[in-house]
Amino acid sequence: MDHSGEDAWGALVLGGAALLPALVVLGLRVRWLRLRRSWVRVEATVVGHRKRKTVTHDNTRTYRRVSRYRFHDASGVEHRGDGSPRLRKGAVIGVLHDPADPQRNEPARPSTPVVLGWAVAVLMVPLALYGIQWGLAGLLGHEPLLEVGPGR
């Protein structure tokens, strides 16, 4: 197979682009682990629901229903937050909060987007590695370690 420099650069770019979702998910996971280490976990009670509005760069508005919850910090002061996927009113959930500022809080359970992000990352890593190794082989004048296609 012809491994021209143009094809090799294309493979490197596609491989790198496929690796981006995995890096983003990894960054989010590192953030999550840092929060778990420095923030305090408490129990919260779901008290209702609200619509959370998201506006994209092209002014498209989307709404997602999230649970609202309340919890007490170590001093017994009540705080409120939201962000958990919609759960039944009265449900008890875990919440992480910043001990220095309990208004900074979030549900302790990973949400569906986090789980989906991990799934995308796991699927994209092999594609990324394949593209990167194929591109590097082409640039260095070697045969790729792995080629996929008819007759291989």
Structure token digits, residue 151: 């007759």
What is the model's pLDDT at position 151? 54
What is the model's pLDDT at position 22? 76
The tens digit of pLDDT for each residue in 63-106 reads 888 899 999 999 999 999 998 777 889 999 999 999 999 999 98
108 band by pLDDT with thresholds 50, 70 and 90: confident
The tens digit of pLDDT for each residue in 27-44 reads 877 877 777 788 899 999
Look at residue 1 and tell me whether its pLDDT is greater than 50.
Answer: no
The tens digit of pLDDT for each residue in 112-148 reads 566 676 777 777 777 787 777 778 777 787 776 666 6
pTM: 0.54
Look at residue 48 and tell me whether its pLDDT is greater than 60.
Answer: yes
